[in-house]
Amino acid sequence: MVILVLGKGKTGSLVAQVARERGHGVRALDITENEHASALTAPSLAGVDVVIDFTAPEAAVENIRAVLALGSCIVVGTTGWYAHVGEMKALAAKRGGALLYGTNFSIGVQKLFSLTAEMARLEGYTFSIEETHHVTKLDAPSGTAITLREIIEAAQPGAKVEVTSHRIADANGEHIVKAVSDVDELELRHDAFSRRGFAVGAVRGAEWVAGKTGAWEFREIFDQL
């Protein structure tokens, strides 16, 4: 399989490395080599099975639109663009493309989502979320924290879930979910030791979505990998 990685930052470069380790052909473009999705044309995508995007929110929207318009497949690890999800799902359906997106491609974080959904069913608790990432992460709160908040609010309609964000040095990503009552406190915590978990999940997602048509959030399909 041939994968085109958009973004040569720390995570994008690791995605390319993992893809090669898993036996795939890899091409990569930096944001400066693909301004306004200008490099995503029918000739340039010929022979590419899946595009993986780890860029920036504004660039991701342009990249997704360009790839889906050509009926191709794209995995999006970039966060902060979700106001356009409905538009992109419709475009994937119209043009026969495939979109796989997620606020976090770590398998461990997917388990955190599941455990949070279970804990969120508790009555009599106040829930809060704390997240820490590197200083170059542009969106706050993180997409993962937003997903965690949505999971809790779905189980506890009307609940006010406070989210605290920290941006520190080169932190890889930590999320803590707390549930506090009058009698005790529960805590779920995921701490990424490196970005490799995100990269592996994204590449495995690309392997899963290749050749498909439609749109999925990663947490809908991760147990099929």
Cα-flanking dihedrals φ and ψ of residue 88, to 5°? Answer: -70, -35
In the block, tokens 């590197």 appear at 134
C-alpha 7: how far from chain center: 14
Which one from 84, 89, 111, 137 is the annotated catalytic residue?
137
166 is catalytic: no
Q: Annotated catalytic, 137?
A: yes
* Catalytic residue chosen out of the listed positions 8, 133, 175, 190: 133
Residues 6+ apart with CB under 8 A from 73: 49, 50, 51, 67, 97, 98, 99, 100, 206, 209, 210, 211, 212
Amino acid at 153: E
CB 12 within 8 A of CB 5: yes
Quickly list DSSP for 54-76.
-S-HHHHHHHHHHHHHTT-EEEE
Residues with catalytic roles: 133, 137
